[in-house]
């Protein structure tokens, strides 16, 4: 049984300290111009605090003195509340619970809808863990936060692998196996060489993700899940009417959840990799399969989570970047800060997001005018068709892209 909203068990990656992103200019400027709003700054600081606290190992309660970054966030929240005539949270546990109900659009924050969905919260009301929006906000700004943590882990892995093919196999293994049970290592096809390379990235399954001596996993996204109330029948299917939280947050759960028995024998990837590698992986695979089917060559771009440079397509340079992020304004802000060097970059997101009311428009509106021609939002099914669109150069001439008839992605063994 979980013991409440302040039971944290997401273990730190071996040898890595929890390091909340430091405050700095740029966190609150999306949609607000040069004058940063105090409410938005506070919302961003709370997001960084929630993301950092959720990574503290075996923290069952908060005892004084609080971590410095958490105390500062609490102090700023108290001062903001007093300034607006609101009743402030009296402690860090109360602030954590408070982040379950206070939305981005609350007058305390007044975050513009162009920045974050007004209904978004930082702590999920059922999962009692950081929301995906929280992690996206915590990754916004110069320090890069959680998303940079994921990229650092993968950069280290790439350096250890030595070859592009070995790294590709290891990276794909991580994306397909956010949770590994000891029994998985006994099935045919298990790659001992891949496991020996990636195993140090995995951590013990935290207590906060266990339910009645088992753990639960969403069959859609493959990530941890928890029913409302923290209990479930042995079948894995929660009682009718109960809510379910999974880290994907948007998956259907009508058929219930998968059970992971003997969770002491299970290991899990850090939340940074689960959010920024595992979640976009199916979209990434769909995009690469579309390129393969069209005979378009590509190679991975180092230093990015899911980025590829297309080959042999004429004089223009074309990149593909894959994301699964809920907040289009934050995605646009990320690409504005880390502007792709290619002539045109296709930003591929899941179809459910690309088709969501306001998502494309919100993304485009949040881009600076000079980037709207160079950065194109699309879904995997539309990627190849979009590559045929003309690109207008500085001289006004249009160039069209040639396709490489030979797919370049190697056909490796199934790393499962």
Q: What is the pLDDT of residues 139-164, one digit of tens each?
A: 998 777 899 999 999 999 999 998 99
Mean pLDDT in the chain? 82
pLDDT surpassing 60 at residue 407: no
Q: Is the pLDDT of residue 31 over 60?
A: no
Split at pLDDT 50, 70, 90, the class of 235 is: low
Give the per-residue pLDDT at 65: 75
Say whether pLDDT at 35 is over 90: no
- Position 312 scores a pLDDT of 67
In the numeric block, the tokens 């700023």 are attached to 76
Conformational region of residue 312, where left means phi above 0, alpha means psi within -120 to 50, and beta covers everything else: left
Q: What is the mean pLDDT of residues 223-240?
A: 65
Mean pLDDT comparison of 37-51, 220-234, 251-265, highest-scoring range: 37-51
pLDDT tier for residue 247 given thresholds of 50, 70 and 90 = very high
pLDDT at 39: 92
Q: Which residues are CB-neighbours of 303 under 8 A, at least 6 positions away?
A: 151, 155
> Token pair of 179, please?
């949770």
- 280 pLDDT band (50/70/90 cuts)? very high
- The per-residue pLDDT for 210 is 83
Cα within 13 Å of Cα(359), Cβ side = 20
At 55-93, the pLDDT tens digits run 875 444 566 677 889 999 999 999 999 999 999 999 888
Per-residue pLDDT tens digits for 177-204: 999 998 888 787 788 999 999 999 999 9
Phi-psi region of 256 (alpha: psi -120 to 50; beta: other; left: phi over 0): left
Instruction: Output the pLDDT for position 179.
Output: 94
> 236: pLDDT confidence band, cut at 50, 70 and 90?
low
pLDDT bin (cut points 50, 70, 90) of residue 237 is low
- Name beta bridge partners: 321: 307, 347
Is a pLDDT exceeding 70 seen at residue 46? yes
């Amino acid at each position: 049984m979980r013991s409440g909203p302040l039971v944290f068990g997401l273990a730190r990656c071996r040898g890595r300290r929890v390091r909340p992103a430091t405050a700095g200019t740029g966190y609150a400027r999306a949609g607000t111009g040069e004058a940063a709003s105090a409410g938005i700054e506070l919302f961003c600081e709370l997001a960084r605090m929630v993301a950092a606290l959720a990574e503290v190992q075996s923290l069952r309660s908060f005892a004084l003195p609080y971590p410095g970054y958490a105390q500062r966030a609490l102090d700023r929240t108290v001062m903001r509340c007093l300034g607006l005539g609101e009743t402030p949270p009296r402690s860090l546990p109360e602030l954590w619970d408070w982040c379950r109900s206070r939305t981005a659009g609350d007058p305390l924050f007044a975050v513009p809808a162009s920045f974050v969905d007004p209904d978004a919260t930082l702590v999920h009301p059922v999962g009692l863990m950081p929301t995906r929006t929280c992690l996206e906000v915590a990754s916004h700004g110069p320090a890069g936060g959680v998303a940079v943590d994921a990229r650092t882990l993968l950069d280290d892995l790439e350096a250890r692998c030595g070859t592009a093919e070995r790294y590709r196999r290891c990276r794909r293994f991580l994306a397909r196996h956010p949770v590994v049970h000891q029994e998985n290592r006994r099935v045919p096809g298990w790659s001992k060489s891949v496991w020996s390379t990636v195993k140090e990235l995995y951590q013990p399954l935290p207590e906060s993700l266990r339910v009645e001596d088992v753990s639960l996993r969403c069959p859609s996204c493959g990530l941890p899940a928890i029913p409302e109330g923290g209990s479930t029948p042995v079948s894995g299917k929660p009682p009718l009417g109960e809510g379910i939280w999974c880290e994907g947050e948007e998956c259907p759960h009508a058929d219930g959840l998968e059970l992971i028995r003997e969770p002491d024998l299970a290991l899990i990837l850090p939340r940074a990799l689960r959010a920024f590698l595992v979640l976009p992986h199916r979209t990434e695979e769909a995009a690469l399969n579309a390129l393969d089917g069209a005979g378009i060559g590509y190679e991975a771009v180092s230093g990015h989570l899911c980025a590829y440079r297309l080959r042999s397509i004429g004089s223009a340079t074309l990149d593909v970047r894959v994301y699964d992020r809920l907040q289009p304004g934050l995605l646009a802000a990320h690409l504005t800060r880390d502007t792709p060097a290619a002539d045109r970059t296709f930003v591929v997101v899941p179809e459910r997001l690309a088709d969501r009311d306001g998502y494309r428009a919100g993304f485009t509106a949040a881009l600076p005018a000079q980037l709207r021609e160079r950065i194109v939002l699309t879904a995997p099914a539309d990627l190849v068709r979009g590559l045929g669109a003309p690109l207008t150069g500085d001289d006004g001439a249009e160039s069209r892209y040639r396709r490489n008839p030979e797919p370049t992605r190697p056909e490796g063994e199934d790393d499962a």
